[in-house]
Amino acid sequence: MNYRLSLLLVVAVGIFLAVEVPLFGYTPPLQPELQFLLQPKHDEHAGHNHDEDKKGLKAKKAAKKNLGIDTEIDEEFLLKIKDFEKHLKNKKWGKAIHQLATLSQNPSAYKGMFPEKDGFSVSIQYKLQELLLGLPAEGREAFHLFFDGKAKKLYRTISNSKTLGEKEMEIARRISTHYFFTSVGDNATELLGDAAFEQGTFDSAARYYSMILKNYPDSEISELNLHVKHALALIRARRIEKAQTVIRVIAQQFSGKKIQIGGKPLLAKKYLLDFISADQSQPVVSSIPQNRLLGHSPVPIQKLKIEWQSTKLFSMITKVIGKNNVSVPAITFDSKKAYVNYLGICFAINLQSGKIVWMSQTLKEWRQSERKWRSTNQFQIAIHNNVVIVKNGIGSSAFQRLVAFDSATGKELWNSKKIGQLSQISFLGNVVFDGDRFYVLSSRQQPQQQQRQQYKYKLHCIRTADGKVLWREPMGKVLTRITRSGQQAFSSPSLSRYENSLRMMTNHGTLINFNFLDRKLNWVFKYSHLQKKGKTVEQLKPFNPNGTRFSLKKRMLEEDGIIYMKEKGVTNLIAIESNLGKLLWKRPVGKPSVLVGMDKQNFYLFSNELDAIDRKTLRLKWSTGVLSTSAGRTSIVITPKNLHVFTRRGIYEIDKTNGDIENIYREKKMLLSGGGRLFFVNNHIFSLSSHALTSYTFDQKKKITPNETSPDKKRVIPSQAKP
């Protein structure tokens, strides 16, 4: 029996070896490009000191946790706030109010931000006002008792003044911020609201009126008037939903009451409703660029006709840089021309004829200049008041300069290289215009005091006409990521402006709200951001004809006082109340997707699929597989019925209700390019790819072939340029 058992055992072991060993022991040969699957990730560090590895790992982990901007926190201020809260809890009003007043007297003595929940930090000024407004009734009475005299004295300087200048407004701001619960707090705040309304900063005006209505029930100012002013400011700020809520309150509480407008008594509700319908016809004030929103008539994509196509210069450039480096260039429009910055060579194209009007340099000059084709983000272009501002990457480093051109002639107006204050500065991201000035960020490398180099973001306010620096403000330390090769890396930030606020998105874990008036950070929002591979600063995303990698510019949209954001590497679509700096909601979505647009019904997110998420329910309505552009910078055009997307298989017309692909428009150059961007300017659709700028029309106009100037033969001298 033992013999039989042992025989069985031998057979069983044999069978096991025959079957199982190849399963576990056999490593199938992989193709070279798949070898990375079996290699340890950090084999380049093999042979290094273990302690160094540990340190590196710790640094990496720390950096991953805290990407974005390092915001300072003043420990002393935190302790004083704790003391204040303690006194408040114990109902020691005298001590509490004294503490708050001491802090309010000199808020600039404290640096940094105050940490709040959900990843937000708010400015010390904002925190103090919040604490003041949050005082209980007894606290407010005590506050009134302590500071009414002082506030009245301050307010007298305003009322005695014949004109309301910046000095008077500053006093009003001081009363509103520090002495709100006094007999003049409401008057000062109303004054600020009126001033903001006159300046056209309606969002701020609405905030001031709302502050009185919410926190000052005993105000002597007419409540109806305040409600009407509040509603008007909201309508002008395009916060129609909120305005309608205010109108409903007026209808309930002040039914049939009239207000005096231009000496005439008018029914408040009717006046406001009429105002809404009149205001609806005005252009939409929104961060969604107008060229992404088509008119109210649906555009039949199958009826598109090429009016002209500018290809010659594009072809020459792509030939120089090679097909593996092509990308969709930066572009901007005014009513007459399109201005293109194609990896450093800038040119203007007439929108009527498609002819090149001017070029910043000849192809020969461009070819000779020292350039390594890096990130498309390094090359930006923007226009305002007939001045074209261009940002170019210089040389093999990530150093980026600004150059201004006259939009009509292409004449260089100024170059940051030649301006002393700007010559050593490398700029980042896009520029944002504000009247005669613009804002742009820079990253400045700090001296090597520590082991690792420190970078700081700085915001520059520059006069558009001559490049003079009007002011500069630090925006915080950059928290860099460590790449596999040990380099520091951070993404290119993007700027957008809304009234007096500038939103700065670092694109790696931080959103900042900066106020122009007091030139201070209002709030900072930090969120979890995961990036797979370490990339050097603004590294080029190569053109990959078979892949679906892409780079989308739009990551943040703003409407009705709410910021919506979703960038690549973040696992949520996020909504933030922009005034208060408060998280409204988060909705989990795929990590690779990017927010590219929204309309009244949906949010649109794009990765290798185009998703529509219902704005009310936050449910995914549909998702359609659309091959995205692989050449970077794509965009969608939203029409009332459809979405238009320029992919590497043509322009897709997608039904907004169900995501079905209704039509596809294709032409030869499109298929060469790998997709691109769409614009709607002067009632024409323009498509921009790495290979062409094309103008389309919807009628049967005769096709015009542009007679482009050969870029290599001669440079177009501005005076000779024919429109």
Helices (H) and strands (E) in the chain — how many of each? 15, 39
One of 444, 649, 681, 682 touching another protein (CB under 8 A): 649
One of 5, 18, 19, 28 touching another protein (CB under 8 A): 28
Minimum separation from the CB atom of position 664 to another protein (A) = 6
Residues in the chain, total: 723
Element (DSSP H or E) covering residue 103? helix 93-105
Q: Pick the closer one to another protein by CB: 41 or 214.
A: 41
Q: Pick the closer one to another protein by CB: 203 or 609.
A: 609
One of 19, 37, 46, 137 touching another protein (CB under 8 A): 37
One of 387, 589, 631, 688 touching another protein (CB under 8 A): 589
3-state secondary structure of 21: helix
How would you label 644-669 residue by residue, b for 16+ Cβ within 10 Å and e otherwise? bbbbbebbbbbebeebeeebebebeb
Minimum separation from the CB atom of position 185 to another protein (A) = 46
Round to the nearest angstrom and report the end-to-end CA distance of the chain: 105
**3 makes contact with another protein (CB under 8 A):** yes
The answer to whether residues 545 and 630 touch, using CB atoms and an 8 Å cutoff, is yes
Size of the site for another protein (CB under 8 A): 35
State how far the Cα of 499 lies from the Cα of 515, in Å rounded to an integer.
9
Minimum separation from the CB atom of position 610 to another protein (A) = 9
Stretch that binds another protein, among 244-252, 451-459, 549-557, 587-595 (CB under 8 A): 587-595
Q: Pick the closer one to another protein by CB: 444 or 649.
A: 649
State how far the Cα of 41 lies from the Cα of 315, in Å rounded to an integer.
40
The answer to whether residues 134 and 126 touch, using CB atoms and an 8 Å cutoff, is no
**30 makes contact with another protein (CB under 8 A):** yes
Paired tokens of 404: 């201004």
Q: Pick the closer one to another protein by CB: 189 or 630.
A: 630
Residue keyed to tokens 């009717």: 270
One of 286, 315, 325, 571 touching another protein (CB under 8 A): 571
Stretch that binds another protein, among 127-135, 349-357, 366-374, 583-591 (CB under 8 A): 583-591
Strand partners, 434: 437
Q: Pick the closer one to another protein by CB: 39 or 451.
A: 39
The answer to whether residues 561 and 501 touch, using CB atoms and an 8 Å cutoff, is no
Residues in region 653-692 near another protein by CB under 8 A: 658-661, 664
Q: Pick the closer one to another protein by CB: 393 or 659.
A: 659
Q: Pick the closer one to another protein by CB: 502 or 645.
A: 645
State how far the Cα of 652 lies from the Cα of 649, in Å rounded to an integer.
8
**590 makes contact with another protein (CB under 8 A):** yes
Q: Pick the closer one to another protein by CB: 296 or 619.
A: 619
| Angle at the Cα of 155 from the Cα atoms of 153 and 161, rounded to 5 degrees | 110
**409 makes contact with another protein (CB under 8 A):** no
**558 makes contact with another protein (CB under 8 A):** no
Stretch that binds another protein, among 35-43, 81-89, 536-544, 596-604 (CB under 8 A): 35-43
**38 makes contact with another protein (CB under 8 A):** yes
**315 makes contact with another protein (CB under 8 A):** no
3-state secondary structure of 331: strand
Residues in region 353-392 near another protein by CB under 8 A: none
H helix intervals, 237-267: 240-253
State how far the Cα of 531 lies from the Cα of 570, in Å rounded to an integer.
8
Paired tokens of 232: 């008007």
**Rounded CA Rg of the chain:** 30
**137 makes contact with another protein (CB under 8 A):** no
One of 47, 263, 447, 588 touching another protein (CB under 8 A): 588
Minimum separation from the CB atom of position 375 to another protein (A) = 26
Minimum separation from the CB atom of position 624 to another protein (A) = 7
3-state secondary structure of 470: strand
**44 makes contact with another protein (CB under 8 A):** no
Q: Pick the closer one to another protein by CB: 42 or 303.
A: 42
**569 makes contact with another protein (CB under 8 A):** no
The answer to whether residues 706 and 311 touch, using CB atoms and an 8 Å cutoff, is no
Residues in region 607-646 near another protein by CB under 8 A: 608-609, 619-627
Q: Pick the closer one to another protein by CB: 31 or 160.
A: 31
State how far the Cα of 623 lies from the Cα of 620, in Å rounded to an integer.
8
Minimum separation from the CB atom of position 647 to another protein (A) = 9
Minimum separation from the CB atom of position 494 to another protein (A) = 24
One of 5, 19, 25, 40 touching another protein (CB under 8 A): 40
Minimum separation from the CB atom of position 120 to another protein (A) = 23
The answer to whether residues 477 and 470 touch, using CB atoms and an 8 Å cutoff, is no
Paired tokens of 114: 């105050």
One of 19, 41, 296, 600 touching another protein (CB under 8 A): 41
Q: List, as one string, the DSSP characters of 399-460.
A: -EEEEEEETTT--EEEEGGGSTTTTT--EEEEEEEETTEEEEEEEEEPP--SSS--EEEEEE
Residues in region 477-536 near another protein by CB under 8 A: none
- Please state, in angstroms and as integers, the Cα–Cα distance from residue 102 to each residue in 38, 84, 110, 125, 178, following that order: 63, 11, 12, 13, 10
Max Cα distance, the chain (Å): 119
Is the CA virtual torsion 255, 259, 264, 270 positive or negative?
A: negative
Please tell me what DSSP assigns to residue 330: E
Q: Pick the closer one to another protein by CB: 363 or 612.
A: 612
Minimum separation from the CB atom of position 588 to another protein (A) = 4
Please tell me what DSSP assigns to residue 144: H
Minimum separation from the CB atom of position 37 to another protein (A) = 5
Q: Pick the closer one to another protein by CB: 29 or 256.
A: 29
How would you label 523-546 residue by residue, b for 16+ Cβ within 10 Å and e otherwise? bbbbbebebeebbebbbbbebeee
Residues in region 7-26 near another protein by CB under 8 A: 23
Binding stretches for another protein (CB under 8 A): 3-4, 23, 28-31, 34, 36-38, 40-42, 571, 588-590, 608-609, 619-627, 649, 658-661, 664
